Amino acid sequence: MRLANVSILVVDDEPDLRDVLMDEFAYRGARVVGVANGKSAFALLQVESFDIVFSDVRMPGGNGVELIRNIHNLVEKKPIVFLCSGYSDLDLGEAQKFGVIKIFHKPYDMTDIIDSFLQVLEKRAPCRKAKG
Amino acid sequence: MVPAAKHKDEEKRLKSLAALNILDSLPEKEFDQITQLASQICGTPIALVSLVDKDRQWFKAKTGTDASQTPREIAFCAHAILQDDVFVVEDATRDQRFIDNPLVTGEPHVQFYAGAPLFSPEGYPIGTVCVIDVMKKQLTAKQIEGLKILSHQVTQLLELKLQISKLKASEQKLAFKATASENITEGIVLQDCHGAIVDFNPAALLVLGLTADQLLGKTSTDPHWSSIREDGSDFPGIEHPAMICLNTGKKQIDVVMGIRTSTSGIRWIKINSVPLFMNQPSTLRPDYAVTSFADVTNLKKLESERRNLELQLSESARLSTLGEMASGIAHEINNPLAIIRGKISILKRKIDHRMFDINSAINDFQIIETTVDRIAKIIKGLRTYSRDADSDSFELTKALTIVEDTLALCNERFKIASIQLSVNCDSTIQLECKSAQISQVLMNLLNNSYDAVFALENKCITLTVKDDNNHVAFVITDSGSGIIKTNLNKIMQPFFTTKEVGKGTGLGLSIASGIAQAHGGSLTYDTAQKMTTFTLSLPKRQSQKTSVV
């Protein structure tokens, strides 16, 4: 239960992929919500707080790039943002300016993702230690 | 004095005189000698060859006088030309018509005149051979006869001179043509009605690579010739354009023939052969065939090089577009891979934890299978797109299959850009075509539409396939701004592009248009529609052999 007490918002327009991600995170104990695009994600973030936003980059109806920009401008309840991209040529530099921690490339390695989550969460709130 | 009346056909008479080009010409010995003979025969001091012009009589030749012309009204010859027989005035001083004629009352004091008319080739009396004496006289019948003969001789002389000058003129024309035929680079060969070569110009020897001895007398069916058609098949002598021309009497144009030269190469010539009928009506066999040919070996080489370049270019254009789509395609494949991996990981985990649920597992396997199919489709689309399909055969294909193959590659790209792509294609529509090429054309049109709407508010693209009786129409519309008027006639040209450097080669539409035409169809832009509309119209049937897919 490495992700116990962690809340994650999964943003991806591919239902099957969203399901897989949500299943994987939920299995490790996280509270997961999934939405299909950036607009819905941002709307939800106004009313609900999440520790992590895990978002795909390209989606119709507001893609990941817009979303991270909008999140960046949030003052309160700012989640940590991770991107997951099918593009092999997306580079971190630009995204980092808007607070993106890391970009994962599909097909991703789940262990890698979980490790990164924990690393950042640890840094942010050292007392929030979850069991591995 | 009574001047002579005008001849009844005076205008025509004057015309035929003028045509002889004799008036005011230099003296010539032949004519001078006639007057000498006339003077001798008739025993007169003066003899003339006189030509009666509009207002004068002019002397081509004279004996016994220096005068060169006199006014017509006082001319005795003007009377003489009004009759066929010799005109005789034995005593001018007693003749009412001439009694006060200045030539009688003054120099040269004419008292006797006899003139035999001479005629133009058309038969008009144009003047006389005449004899004049200063005392009255009578001529014997033989002398009159002699005078007549002499005038006849002059008539003949004049006609001959006319013929010679006409011949000289055509000689000049011929000389020019002969020089031309000697110097042009096209070969010309003259064959008789049996096909034997009877004449040729120097270029013929050069182009055929033969000596005069080798060429003269040969026929088109001579076994020495070894020639082939453009497709490499044998070109039998009896079918040579010259032989067909001789056998049918019809001219043969632009026949291409390959000749095997002694150095084991092929020389290509383009041949024209026309029939020559000498005296017969054109329903019978021609007497000769005139065959001209030009060496087009270089042209053919350039043509084939050009074809190769075209193919290379079209491949480059495809690959360049492929490059543009590459990132979209990578995404297209990575997503499904992530799904497959994820599902498998979840299934493994469930088996490990003995939480395996058959029904949800079956569902997951189904998803994996579908996702694999998805990837396979994209790869298939990629292969179709990047292949040079020019040498494919026409195959009966469903329009829907082509559309799906195309969309497999670009669907994702459109989704990402939030472009509304709606597709309408009945699954029963079929056509004979090179499906890979058609897919490439659709891809090209869709990509153009993508670029047109990418930055707009309203991003709409539609692809509709219509059954148009014996044609199938693929209609692609987009909500972009369309083609501006000044570019309308350029868009199908190679290398024309409105995109910035590095974005698009400008080859797409010209190649697409070429593919459409090679199918006997067309690619057109409809200026009347509100939405930018391109229509690819293709015939359902191809005349060449096709196979069923």
Q: What is the pLDDT of residues B192-205, one digit of tens each?
A: 988 899 999 999 99
**A60, B327: Cβ pair inside 8 Å?**
no
**A14, B335: Cβ pair inside 8 Å?**
yes
B508-517 burial string, b = 16+ CB within 10 Å, else e? bbbbbbbbbe
For the entire predicted model, the pTM comes to 0.51
d(CA B504, CA B162): 75
Neighbour order of strands in the sheet with A31-35: A31-35, A7-11, A52-56, A80-85, A100-105
User: Residue B449 CB: number of other CB atoms within 10 A?
Assistant: 26
**B335, A61: Cβ pair inside 8 Å?**
no
For chain A, percent of residues with pLDDT exceeding 70: 77
DSSP conformation class of B86: P
User: Residue B445 CB: number of other CB atoms within 10 A?
Assistant: 25
- pLDDT band, residue A129 (cuts 50/70/90): very low
pLDDT at B101 over 70: yes
- pLDDT band, residue A62 (cuts 50/70/90): low
For chain B, percent of residues with pLDDT exceeding 70: 95
Helix H segments across B129-217? 141-183, 202-208, 212-215
Q: Supply the pLDDT for residue B311.
A: 76
Would you call A107 an interface residue with chain B, using a CB distance cutoff of 8 Å?
yes
- pLDDT band, residue B261 (cuts 50/70/90): confident
Minimum-distance CB partner of B371 among A16, A21, A88: A16
What residue in B sits closest to A65 (Cα-Cα)? B416
Average model confidence (pLDDT) for chain A? 79
Give the residue among A80, A15, A85, A91 at the shortest CA–CA distance from A56.
A85
Question: Does the predicted interface ipTM exceed a cut of 0.90?
Answer: no
pLDDT at B178 over 90: no
Query: How many Cβ pairs closer than 8 A exist between chain A and B?
Result: 65
Chain B (328-367) residues lying within 8 Å, Cβ to Cβ, of chain A: 330-335, 337-343, 345-346, 349, 367
Would you call B229 an interface residue with chain A, using a CB distance cutoff of 8 Å?
no
Cα dihedral B300, B306, B311, B315, rounded to 10, equals: 160
DSSP conformation class of B486: G
Q: Please give the C-alpha separations between residue B172 and each of B60, B160, B167, B178, B179, in angstroms, as whole numbers.
A: 28, 18, 9, 10, 11
Chain B (462-521) residues lying within 8 Å, Cβ to Cβ, of chain A: none
Minimum-distance CB partner of B335 among A17, A61, A89: A17
pLDDT at B540 over 50: yes
Minimum-distance CB partner of B339 among A16, A59, A105: A16
pLDDT at B241 over 60: yes
Q: Supply the pLDDT for residue A132.
A: 43
pLDDT, tens digit (0-9, with 9 covering 90-100), for B115-173: 999 999 999 999 999 999 999 999 999 999 999 999 999 999 999 998 998 999 889 88
What residue in B sits closest to A23 (Cα-Cα)? B346
Mean pLDDT calculated for residue range B162-186:
89
Q: Supply the pLDDT for residue A91.
A: 60
- pLDDT band, residue A131 (cuts 50/70/90): very low
pLDDT, tens digit (0-9, with 9 covering 90-100), for A8-59: 999 888 889 999 999 999 999 999 999 988 788 888 888 888 888 898 876 6
Mean pLDDT calculated for residue range B62-71:
92
- pLDDT band, residue B547 (cuts 50/70/90): low
Q: How far is A60 from chain B (nearest CA, A)?
A: 5
- Lowest mean pLDDT, pick from A64-78, B35-49, B368-382: A64-78
In order, the DSSP letters of B5-46 are PPPTTHHHHHHHHHHTT-TTPPP-HHHHHHHHHHHHHHT-SE
Average model confidence (pLDDT) for chain B? 87
- Residue A43: enclosing H or E segment and its boundaries? helix A38-47
Compute φ and ψ for A12, nearest 5 degrees: -160, 135
Q: Supply the pLDDT for residue A29.
A: 92
Instruction: Round the CA-based radius of gyration of chain A to a whole number and report it.
Output: 13
pLDDT, tens digit (0-9, with 9 covering 90-100), for B416-474: 777 889 999 998 999 999 988 898 889 889 988 888 888 888 889 999 999 988 999 99
Choose, out of B325, B334, B340, the residue to mutate when testing the contact with A (most A CBs < 10 Å). B334
A13 contact residues in B (CB cutoff 8 A): 415
Minimum-distance CB partner of A107 among B338, B349, B418: B338
Would you call A17 an interface residue with chain B, using a CB distance cutoff of 8 Å?
yes
Give whichever of B40-54, B194-208, B473-487 has the largest mean pLDDT.
B40-54
